[in-house]
Structure 1
């Protein structure tokens, strides 16, 4: 499967999210740490993937994972560290028996991290997405950079898009295998 997607950054977003995915009606920021809302990333197993900004390739990988990363106001160091662990340890690559039993850490594949605030959109009502659930740009950039840093400390071959830029993302999905990963 071959896809080309375009993404762009948004203006500052208000901070309020109700964690419906966790079955709660209180904002995540007001919830106790044990009940924290999950951080979201969309992972795709790819044969290859790349990111282009203003006509220049800024990141590219061969076989591995393309990860679209959404940060929300409640995402902090705990969720970011846990997401890095899950990205590197999630078993989506085939073993010798053809079962999804091997992780990115085991295969040594590439990891392409792309910030994508639209993944955090609230789409529950209306005909237009609301981005009030996305982290403000400064907070999201800090969190995204922390995720990149942790992944680079633990894994070789980590590439990124450019935060806040209009990006063209090209990929060849292997499978297709795509998961919405939550911490």
Structure 2
């Protein structure tokens, strides 16, 4: 049990280390490198330019003058940096707007295509419904015709039955002779 737990810990640590190496090495290298279009400043002339004067007041004045010059240069560099950042921001904004415009145009084209496809499908649906209705009307007409033919044959059969009954009814027995015929049928079975 103890070996299993230690083995599990080792595999977890190994997988964490591998995951760290895989994600950290490839992902962070491009962040450390400066952009290709970046221009570095020339080395400043302040470095190594200080010569210690004999008089402390003169040294203090010289140091104050160097600080002012350095502050002016830093101010200029900051202004240039702000301009560069603003230009980059404007360029990024222009790219974003162009991208949004391209997405909007593509969306409009997709919507137009979808509308055209929907129109075609609607036309096809109308044609299919029209054909279906025509087929239904044809089937109904056939069923009606079939029903009429059956009714006609039924009426013809009924007419034939009536005619047959009418022909046979001439041979029927009158009510007066009915009792006599029944009695005769009971007595004389052979005649039936």
Query: Which TM-score bucket, shorter chain as reference?
Result: under 0.3
Which structure would you say has the larger Rg? 2
Q: TM-score, normalised by structure 2?
A: 0.17
Q: TM-score, normalised by structure 1?
A: 0.18
Greater relative CO, 1 or 2 (CA 8 Å, sep 6+):
1
Q: Give the helix-richer structure, 1 or 2.
A: 2
Q: Give the strand-richer structure, 1 or 2.
A: 1
